[in-house]
Structure 1
Amino acid sequence: MLLEKIKTPGLAHLSYLVGSNGEAAVIDPRRDCDIYVEKARAAGLKITHIFETHRNEDLVSGAPILAELTGAKVLHGPNPEKPIAYAQTTHENDCFAIGQLEIRVLETPGHTDDHISFVLFDSAYPKKAVGVFTGDALFVGDVGRTDFYPNRRKEVAGLLYDSLQKILALGDQALIYPAHGAGSVCGSGMAAREFSSVGHERLNNPRLQIESRDEFIDVKINENHYQPPYFRLMERLNMEGGDAAPRVMRPRHLSLDELKTCDADHLIDIREPMAYAAGHLPGAMSLPVGMISAFAGWFISDGESIALIAANEEQLATAMEHLVRIALDNIVGGYVGVVPAAAQGQKIQSTPMIDTVEVKERLNANKDDWTLLDVRDADERASAAIEGSEHIYVGHLNEEWRKLDKNQHYTLMCGSGARATVAAGWLASQGFDNLDIYLGSMSAWQAAHN
């Protein structure tokens, strides 16, 4: 008997391979799905079923691709906005045997209308559920977001409350297997731990401490969530069925001359923020490899071409994996070596960094031509803000940059300086010259005032 979690870094996506007596099922597979076939074959299992908890918004589903590879059938919940082209519809109480295991369907709408959970039973011990694959309904330490239907905010928040009661009714012994862990854009309060039980969540999950349905609805409709533009692309692909991932998950090597003449829509420097600030190629934006999953979808549109600039080949391969999983895979190639480029006479630009003392001096001077621009999210801003600063969420700079004055001097700040570097890099790529970054940002400011 097998139950294995497959984690997708960056997206913090969790999928699962479940098997018994020669048969296996996969829950919520990612686009690059060879891993499931390899693991199943290594365990002597044939994948017969593919279960989707909902139409994902933050990554391309691998379900249709895995179905072609294995001949397995795909099961998806009822009531999607449009029919899921590659899946059969399953309903409450439907049961599927996977060897000795049994998977029963629980309709759990709220996060999305088509959301379902899959309850796992061992037929040799049938009295209580062993566990439940909760998708984006229940996480470890949090519950799903309910902001995808803005005209039905109260209704869908109430639906999620009701769905959570159904999950809680499975019993405290049931283990929970969510579709995301900490770091996912699908929730902000998830625990770093990726294992839990219904009983533990009942006692400790802050959202499950809210007993009143009306109070739960009020809390949910007042949450702040962001929806990157690429969510719409994911929704479309996950209804129609996306293409398979590229077989080679490594960009084509570019020379410096090829990089300069490739005419890519975006030059993306995936090195660490300090490396980018110290020196980068003109026109390049900053998107550190570890931040690609969170922010690439704000600044890169479907079909736009990408050239990557990295510190080493491993960064290029990892960046391509992250981009492919959200279907931003028009990658013309990758270049390694900003320092060698400088040695060849290539012009290099830098972005100055300033400290708390300098920020205080500029605030006190009250200059008309200088703005301290806070790019943190709304919750962070509401919790603590520097008086005199202005606020635009980093992702919203994808459009809001057009309203900014290129003759103005901007200092970018966030929680520590990483997102501020992304913001500064984006503005620099749009022709802003008078920029610097508050190193340490809000953390440094608070340390200086404690």
Structure 2
Amino acid sequence: MFFVDTLEFEGLGNRSYLAGGDATAVAVDPPRDIDQVIAAAARRGVRITHVAETHLHNDYVTGGLELARLTGAHYLVPAAAAVSFARTPVTDGDTVQVDEGLALRALATPGHTPHHTSYILEEDGRGVAAFTGGSLLIGGVGRPDLVEPRLTEQLARAQHASAHRLADTLADEVPVLPTHGFGSFCSSGSGAGGGASTIGAERLMNAALTRDVDSFVTELLAGLDDVPAYYAHMGPANAAGPAPLDLTPPRPADAGELAARLAAGEWVVDLRDRVAFARGHLAGSLNFEEEGKLATYLAWLIPWGKPVTLLGSTPEQITRAQRELARVGIDRPAAAATGDPRTWVREGETLAAFPRATFAGLAAARAADGEDSGNTDEDVVVLDVRRDSERAAGYVAGSVHIPVHELRDRIAQVPPGAVWVHCAGGMRAAIAASLLDAAGRRVVAVDDGFDAAERAGLTVAGPAGARV
């Protein structure tokens, strides 16, 4: 009897898998922190004999090389992927024995990358699970624009063909087990999403299987969204062979050191929730909530390679964040501090703060602003930090639009006045508010769902017009 265990990584929107039988198993697309995979194997009482990569990942650093080294497993990597380490090259149709009566068969499914390979788990020759990586996702496919812009349309067409190859190869009841598609920016904007699916369900709802190739490609390319900047570093890191992970705690920093690091232009990141940060924080620090999409947005916004110091309520919060950041190659925080934020400032200094508000509060402030004498220091400036695709569906009338991942380099373009910054729910607005606050701007963080903006009579629909 076979098993498939799913390892969830919600912050990155990815999954890894451990599959096997009574004695041995294969790990598919493992994360950088491989202790989780090893623990899953220990719970099952199995030995990992194979580690399989569906492709060179663009959104996280793999733990595959180190997992194979520690376990002695065969490291299966698509043969066409150019890498700098020894591995077992895999081509279409290759099969390896996972356990008695259990095999893993490689199926070439280019599209997300040119070399992308899916793996079919077969029990006594019958397909029982499909590890589809970034090929066929739940309700969509992996985006085809992460390798080379000139290949995007070609890869989009390949995604359509690969989806059909999977559907033509496998029975309806076979589970579809992708790596991406649970909030990952590696998934295309066309997916319906969901937690579980089968080949049969995808035949009915997945555009790659219900649309002709031309209409599918047109829709797919039109739905592509922004690419996180840190993706440019993930492929090369995975091709070179990632170094072993070091999760030893960062050394503690006192108030004097924190001030010195800020003065040197380093990033000091406060992991606390946005309510606590707004109430009181170290001036110049930036708010990336540990429970939000920490790795995605911090890695997206920070100048790559810049030292980062972490601030948190507890050592455990630092530990969790350190693990999450290591998954995207931010390996060693320069330092850390925990506890009461008042201990993070030097004697005689006070914590900084800014107000939070709702969209109803914004509507009231705008009404009051329209009645005053026009003092520019008090003018209400509404800053929308959502992505282009979100703004196209509706926006606050008269708002300025700078997506959060562009704000660090474009703060000078924000008009003078009190900046009321919003996103779709509050997390990205908190990041943007901290950036503005650190730059010396007067800021109000709108911590509210965007549907409340419509109820407050603030929104207009349709194309958003020109960006700032």
TM-score (norm 2): 0.87
Tell me the residue number matched to 2:135.
137
Partner residue, 1:153: 152
Q: Give the corresponding residue for 1:107.
A: 108
The letter of the residue matching 1:95 is T
- Give the Cα separation in 1 of the matches to 2:86 and 2:419: 49
Local SS of the residue matching 1:133: strand
1:295 partnered with 2:297: yes
Q: Secondary structure at the match of 2:154?
A: helix
Q: Is 2:327 aligned against 1:325?
A: yes
Q: 2:401 is matched by which residue type in structure 1?
A: H
State the Cα deviation string for residues 110-164 of structure 1 (Å, max 9, x = none): 11111110011101xx3x4111000011222222111223222221110100000
Where does residue 425 of structure 1 map in the other structure?
434
**Partner in structure 1 of residue 351 of structure 2:** 348
Q: Deviations over 1:161-216 (max 9, x none)?
A: 000001111121211111035222222565664221111122233x2464210001
Contact kept, 8 Å, 1:416 with 1:444, in 2: the verdict is no
Q: Sort the Cα spacing of 1:341 and 1:238 in 2 relative to 1 into closer, same or farther, 3 A.
A: closer
- Contact conserved, 1:138 with 1:164, CA < 8 A, in 2? yes
Q: Is the 8 A contact 1:3 1:16 kept in 2?
A: yes
How big is the shift at 1:388?
A: 0.9
Please give the alpha-carbon distance, in whole angstroms, between the structure 2 residues aligned to 1:24 and 1:37. 11
Q: Kindly report which structure 2 residues correspond to 1:205-244, keeping only aligned pairs within 5 A, or say none.
A: 205=206, 207-208=207-208, 210-244=210-244
Aligned partners of 2:195, 2:260: CA distance in 1, in Å?
45
Work out whether 1:163 is the aligned partner of 2:151: no
Q: 1:384 aligns with which of 394, 419, 422?
A: 394
**Residue 20 in structure 1 maps to residue 18 in structure 2:** no
Letter of the structure 2 residue corresponding to residue 89 of structure 1: P
- In 2, distance between residues paired with 1:356 and 1:130? 54
Percent identity between matched residues is 28
Question: In 2, distance between residues paired with 1:372 and 1:247?
Answer: 41
Change (3 A) 1:264 1:363: closer
Q: Distance in 2 between matches of 1:84 and 1:343?
A: 48
Q: 2:363 aligns with which of 354, 357, 370?
A: 357
Contact 1:264/1:307 (8 A) holds in 2: no
Structure 1 residue 305: Cα displacement = 1.2
1:412 aligns with: 421
Structure 1 distance, partners of 2:346, 2:364, is 32
2:463 matched residue in structure 1 = none
Quick one: structure 1 residues 163 and 153, their matched pair in 2 at CA, closer, same or farther if it must change by over 3 Å? same
Indicate the SS of the match to 2:120: strand
CA contact (8 A) 1:370 1:409 kept: yes
Q: Is the 8 A contact 2:301 2:408 kept in 1?
A: yes
Aligned match of 1:63: 64
Aligned length: 442
Deviation at 1:365, TM superposition (A): 6.6
Contact kept in structure 2, 1:303 and 1:330, CA below 8 Å:
no
* Aligned partners of 1:84 and 1:238 also within 8 Å: no
Contact 1:397 1:423 in 2 (8 A): yes
Post-superposition offset of 1:294: 2.3
In 1, Cα distance between the equivalents of 2:178 and 2:236?
23
Contact 2:250 2:332 in 1 (8 A): no
AA at the equivalent of 1:253: P
CA deviation after TM superposition for structure 1 residue 66, in Å: 0.8
Shift, 1:21, TM fit = 4.4
Inter-CA distance 410–441: structure 2 relative to 1 (3 Å threshold): farther
Q: Which amino acid aligns with 1:298?
A: W
Cα deviation digits, residues 362-414 of structure 1 (max 9, x gap): 77579676531111111210111112112111112232335446x55422111
Matched residue of 1:6: which SS?
Answer: strand
Gaps of 5+ in 1: none
What CA deviation, in whole Å up to 9, does each residue of 1:98-117 have, x standing for no partner?
A: 11211111111111111110
Who is 1:47 aligned against? 48
Distance 1:129 1:49, change over 3 A: same
SS in structure 2 opposite 1:130?
strand
Distance, in Å, in 2 between the alignment partners of 1:343 and 1:242 is 39
* Residues 278/90 of structure 1: CA separation in 2 closer, same or farther (3 Å cut): same
State how far apart, in whole Å, the 1-side matches of 2:365 and 2:224 are: 28
Aligned to 1:11: 12
Query: Which of residues 434, 451, 456 is equivalent to 1:443?
Result: 451
Alpha-carbon distance change, 217 to 312 in structure 1, aligned in 2, over 3 angstroms: same
